[in-house]
Structure formats: C-alpha cells, structure tokens
Structure 1
C-alpha cells in the first residue's frame, strides 16, 4: 500500500492542537514513526523474536495500541506455536481501518499466518483473555498516568506462567544532564531524518501534553508493584527503550 511522507507540521499553524491519532496521522504514520523513533524497526522485528520464545500453544497474543499493526504483522510471521491467535486493539478508528487493510494485504503475501482480530476499543476497558504475550509498543505513554498501574495489574493477572509483557516507551531521565543530552540527541536524529526546526517545534507543542514519558526506574517499580517478578531492559536507543516484564 502507498505510504505518504509526514508533512503534517511542515507549514506554520496559527494554533497547534493537541496530537490526535486521526486520519491525517494514520495516512503518514509509517514515515512519521520511522523518522521520529530511533530503533523502531529493530524493536518491532525483535518483538517477534521475543514473542516466539514466550508464546504458548493455543493462547491469545495481544498487540495493545496496535496503530497500523506493525507488531501484529511481525507476530504473525514469526510465532509458530500451534493454535495461537493475535488480538490487535486500538482506540483510533482511522488506525483500525488502515490496520485491517494492511493485514489483508499481508494475507495475500504470506501463507499460514496466525489468525488476527482487529478491535476498535479502549484498552483500559478491555476484558483480557488468558494470554502468553502482550505487546505495549509506545502505548502506555499516551495513557493517563494515574490509570497506568491498573492496566499493568490487569495484564499481569491475565498473563499465563511463562508468558511475558513487552513494553516499549520513550524515556525521561532523572538526571537532568543525562535527560538534556539524550533529548538533544533525539532532536538531532529528527533533523538527520529531514525534519525542519518548524516541524520539530510544532510537533513538540502538539504532543507535549498528550505523551507523558516515565523514567526507567518508574517503569520498573510500577511493573514490580503490579505483580511482575522481573523487569529486563533488552533494548535502548537514545531516549527510547523496550523492556521484558515476566510474571
């Protein structure tokens, strides 16, 4: 399917509205996330490698906040456990519609893929089935801070022994010098990928009240408080990281 370049913030805006995952964002999302999130393709492909270890036969796998389904597509290609299926969930109608289209295209290119169900829903209200693998790929940071513990606790309750939660997030750093440097390097990454100063400034204004990142220490403690036994960072590139949380 055709992919458009991200030019959403390329022209001066009289008023920069809060960032929303609408049709405009869905249309350019593959280009946007590749140019904005260091290591994103590596994270997605390796989630499938991790999932192949933790996915158990005849269980459900969840991609929560699936956007256009990149993680779901990777899971379908690489998980070989018998009888698994994927439930992909997003609260954006535009994302769900395009995700379904992408998955339909994937069906025509590959054989013996895991079955998938794409749901438009609020993951905070989702009734989880017993699961061996849950992916929260750059999703928790868009959820109200006070609601994050309850979501993680419910995921932990649904996880089967031997399963895993894979959590990918942008990080803030408690050391001010470290935070300033890694933030500056992230902006350099965006410039190197062709974003102008105007685009960077307007995107930051749009997203700063919507995406609220936590520190690695906060993530670790919150996961332990939710009942996970171990939290293992497996990837970091600048101020973006991914963790494995074990029940």
Structure 2
C-alpha cells in the first residue's frame, strides 16, 4: 500500500496468510531442535504474536527509529529478517533516498516467503533480499541496523565479532536496534520473569504441553544473555550511547548510537 507521499505504507493489522501455530499441540515422543523451517514459516506471524510480548510495538518503533536516524547513501539492515516485518516498517517511514533496505536471513523458507510478501507490497525493487548467515557477513556503510530477536540464535562465540563489524560499519550518528530475550543473574528473578512469560503465552491460547515442548525444542538453540552483557558488548564495540527503550518480562529492546 502507498501513502499519499508515495512511501510504502506498512499495515501490520492485515493478515499475512496467517495460520494458527499448532506445531507443539500434540504430544511428541522425541522433541527435535527448533529451526526456522517450512512448518515454522507457515505459522510464524501467529507464533511470534502469541509468544513475544510487545512484538507489534517493537516493529512499529523500528520504523519510527529508522525515520529518525536513516542517512543517505547507507544501508538500512534488517538482519535475521524472518518474513520482513521490520523491513516493511522501515520502508513505510523512510523514503528511498534515505538509504538502501537490505533484508537478510539464513532460512531458505523464510526468504522465499518474505520475497512473496515484499512483492505483494510492491517493494521487490526497493529491498535487497539476501539469504546469508549474518554472523559471517561483511557490512556496507550503515546508518540503521536491526537485530530483532536475532542475536540470541547466534553462537555465543560469534556475537562479539558480529557486533564489532556492525559498529565499524555504522556511520557517526547511526544506530543499532537490538531486541532480545534476556536472562537475569538472580535465579529467583529469572524464574519469576519466565513464569510471567509463560502466563502471557497461556493467556494467548498455548497449552502447558505446547509451552513445555517448545521450551525443550528451543533451549539449546536460543541462548539468552543478561542485559549487562549486551550493554557491555555494545560499548566495547564503540557505540557511545546505549539505552533501553522497551522491556516486558524477560524481553527487551536497546538502541545503541554510534
């Protein structure tokens, strides 16, 4: 959809061929490691909405932040783009002369579906869609980079180098938006925040069986860190300002300014 000024207008209320997440609804004898395969792609909009508190707010604010910090002749990166929700949000609020949109994911199934969705929005010529491992990428000069619940899936030993490469590629005054599930040093606090998150998921229709089986599938794939660890890594990489703009239970989002 296009707004009167010619920009793409992102409408997150419009269903994206949304199907209900029922992947873990039946008892399984063996729980396989979670992956972003065709089954997950099929239900991803429903899964993320019912699993991640504040996800819609996150996406909307990525567009707002991109509009504030995007610079001409730079790339606007959506790293670990999934189906391209953050890409659409940035496209809605940044004109083409404010940077080149680059959306990257390592899942072939995600990239294939994202390509269809971008084509449906008329953005196939504006967005460079790449299948790649963001942990091993080199980056062009950037003013806005987004890791929206992506870093947590990257091996711990690769995270410092990724953030450093991003910081080195970021123009002065540019930003990184980093959204993550976090853990807490205090065991009691960590348990309480997890309990609240599970209550959120139950309220959104997930059964205890689904919550338990999903947790078993993802616990060795999604490796959360503390807020302090994220802040320290960003500052060591050279970001001069690191601010938490959102937190709900054990989910948070940071803006780091170069």
TM range (shorter): over 0.9
Paired with 1:58 and 1:114, the residues of 2 have a C-alpha distance of 17
* TM-score calculated relative to the size of structure 2: 0.92
Paired position in structure 1 for 2:137: 126
Partners in 2 of 1:60 and 1:115 — Cα distance?
Answer: 12
**Equivalent position SS for 2:97:** coil
Structure 1 residue aligned with 2:201, among 153, 175, 190?
A: 190
CA offsets 1:85-113 (integer angstroms, 9 cap, x no match): 110000000000001111111118xxxx9
CA distance in 1, matches of 2:133, 2:109: 14
Counterpart in the other structure of 2:57: 42
Match of 1:231 in 2: 242
Q: How does 1:102-181 map to 2 (within 5 A)?
A: 102-107=117-122, 115-181=126-192
CA deviation digits over 1:181-210, x for unaligned, max 9? 111000000000000011000000000000
| Structure 2 segments unaligned to the other structure (5+ residues) | 1-15
Structure 1 runs (4+) greater than 4 angstroms displaced? none
Aligned equivalents of 2:17, 2:105: Cα separation in 1:
22
Shift of 1:83: 4.6
3-state secondary structure, aligned to 1:82: helix
Question: In the TM superposition, what is the alpha-carbon distance from 1:114 to its structure 2 partner?
Answer: 8.2
What is the CA distance between 1:79 and its match in structure 2?
A: 1.3
- TM value normalised by structure 1: 0.96
Task: Note the aligned Cα RMSD (angstroms).
Answer: 1.3
Using the TM superposition, give the Cα deviation of residue 66 of structure 1 relative to its aligned residue in structure 2, in angstroms: 0.2
Structure 1 unaligned spans of 5+: none
1:35-114 equivalent positions in 2, closer than 5 A:
35-80=50-95, 82-107=97-122
Cα drift, residue 155 of structure 1: 0.1
